[in-house]
Amino acid sequence: MSTSDVDLTPSAARAMYRIIQEGVTNALRHTTTGRISVSVRQTGGTVVIEVHNEGLGFGVPVPGHGLINMRERARLEGGELDAGPTGGEFRVRATLPARAPVSPHAVAP
């Protein structure tokens, strides 16, 4: 898992937690081989959440409750969610608006 500092509202932070939780649950449920990775980063005013899992033979995702719920959580916070096979792995990618953009020149106290 890789993370960086992100600034989300409490509601968006809960959505991020639940999206990661469901993404990892789905990866464990639908993958018999390979690694699962999670990354969270903020770029400007957007927080990007990605859950990747390696595997073989991923088909086009069938929207079950997990994908629908993740997509709805992102949408309610003003974000988006994309999920599907890509380059030998399955990726869930959500974007959520940050509370405040992170300045590349910010100095930690």
Question: Hey, where are the domains in the chain?
Answer: 2-97
**Strands 36-43 and 80-86, how do they pair?**
unpaired
Diameter over CA atoms, the chain: 48
Kindly report the number of other CB atoms within 10 A of residue 29's CB atom.
8
Are 51 and 27 in contact by the 8 Å Cβ rule? The answer is yes
Are 78 and 45 in contact by the 8 Å Cβ rule? The answer is no
**Strands 89-97 and 80-86, how do they pair?**
antiparallel
Residues 6+ apart with CB under 8 A from 85: 58, 59, 60, 61, 91
Looking at domain 2-97, its CATH architecture is 2-Layer Sandwich (3.30)
Q: What is the pLDDT of residues 58-77, one digit of tens each?
A: 655 565 688 889 999 999 99
Q: What is the pLDDT of residues 13-35, one digit of tens each?
A: 999 999 999 999 888 887 777 78
Kindly report the number of other CB atoms within 10 A of residue 32's CB atom.
8
Residue 106: band (very low, low, confident or very high) from pLDDT cuts 50, 70, 90? low
State residue 98's pLDDT score.
94
Q: What is the pTM of this model?
A: 0.82
